[in-house]
Amino acid sequence: MTLGSIIRYIKWQFAKKFFSKQAYDWWKVKLRNSDLKNELIIPLTQYRTNTKNTKDHKRVICMHDGKLKTGGLVDRLRGIISVYSICKEYNIDFKILFTQPFPLDRYLIPNSVEWRISQNELHYNIKETDICLIESINGSKYEAQKQDEWFRNELKKSYCEFHIYTNAHFSYNRDFAKLFAELFKPSPLLQQLIDKEKKHLGENYISTSFRFLDLLNDFNETAGGNIILSKTEQSQLINKNIEQLNKLHNKYPQRKILVNSDSSTFLQEAAKLDFTYIIPGEISHVDSNATIKENTHDKTFTDFFMIANAEDIFLFITGDMYNSGFPFAAAQLYNKPFHIIRF
């Protein structure tokens, strides 16, 4: 072991012993940020150039360029909006470089803020550009507070440019809907997809979400969720969730029920019910390593906005099913009622 790795190990053991769980998690986040700056995560060779800064003001860029994994669609959007909320408060120029695994403006385009920027417009002098990585671990209020405090302190530093990789979630403590609307509106393509689905569902419908990860052995999640149930257990789990759909239908017999899931197996079973509707298309995850086609994520964005437009939004969880943030974020978009049904 090198001296550096020995010191690092001692720090980890000290933190485990003397920090609370929340403080320990936040310490890990800060250590990861330090690792990025010290090139222990990815090489930062492009930041060693002697380019000159031509800007006379601070600028913050939220980075989604494929160099680091920053989570799924909602993880990325909440991080973007979190950083934007601080930039707006401090009157700092705000941009988004979102090129991987697709250009964001295929689906979302600027509304009242022009956030688009190209790679060749970035400033790479390491003495004047700060590179940051702030991840979310547990989604707690404590973590949100620490993220907020960290960004406030970081953006006060004298760098001319900040390249930020984050899925921070403190935007949920702000006016998420208002901030989202300032940044984004659906692209013509996405609006066309939304309008098409509205013709099928109408206005007065319910949204339901079921996140299985790989429990049903049909969706390769990017992180966690490695449990695969036996065939018998899979069948039992599907039936339990179908039963919940029937109960919801009995409560709201006049409403169509939109069903969203990361499991094609479950969606096939849910589609057999005469009161359900499933948006067609490919199930995908934004942070997946899978090769994508141009339209791979059409369904993901359409699902998000159609959930957001529902009258009531439900997330169903039992056993090892995942507490997804996807329907929660969609509910924030238009301030719709959100319900978690644990059974």
Q: Is the pLDDT of residue 222 over 60?
A: no
Q: Is the pLDDT of residue 55 over 80?
A: no
Q: Encoding tokens for residue 49?
A: 């150039």
Q: Is the pLDDT of residue 44 over 90?
A: yes
Is-contact 151 44, C-beta < 8 A? no
Number of neighbours of residue 68 by Cβ within 10 angstroms? 16
Euclidean distance between the first and the last CA atom of the chain, given in angstroms as a whole number:
49
Task: Supply φ then ψ for residue 252, to 5 degrees.
Answer: -125, 70
**Distance (Å, whole) CA 243 – CA 249:** 10
Collapsing DSSP to helix, strand or coil, 185 comes out as strand
Q: What is the pLDDT of residue 18?
A: 72
Map out the domains of the chain with their CATH numbers: 3-186 (no CATH), 188-342 (3.40.50.11350)
Between 286 and 212, the more confident residue is 212
**Distance (Å, whole) CA 206 – CA 311:** 6
Number of neighbours of residue 253 by Cβ within 10 angstroms? 8
Q: Encoding tokens for residue 266?
A: 């479950």
**pLDDT for 136-177, tens place per residue?**
999 999 999 999 999 999 999 999 999 999 999 999 999 999
DSSP 234-286: HHHHHHHHHHHHHHHHHHSTTSEEEEEES-HHHHHHHTTSTTEE---S----T
Q: What is the mean pLDDT of residues 283-304?
A: 85
C-alpha 280: how far from chain center? 22
**pLDDT for 59-68, tens place per residue?**
999 999 999 9
Is-contact 135 100, C-beta < 8 A? no
Q: How confident is the model at residue 291 (pLDDT cuts 50, 70, 90)?
A: low
Is-contact 179 198, C-beta < 8 A? no
**Distance (Å, whole) CA 104 – CA 81:** 14
Q: Name the burial class of residue 286, with classes exposed (0-12), middle (13-18) and buried (19+) by CB atoms within 10 angstroms of its CB.
A: buried
Q: Encoding tokens for residue 243?
A: 């039963």
Q: How confident is the model at residue 294 (pLDDT cuts 50, 70, 90)?
A: confident
Number of neighbours of residue 79 by Cβ within 10 angstroms? 26
Collapsing DSSP to helix, strand or coil, 302 comes out as helix
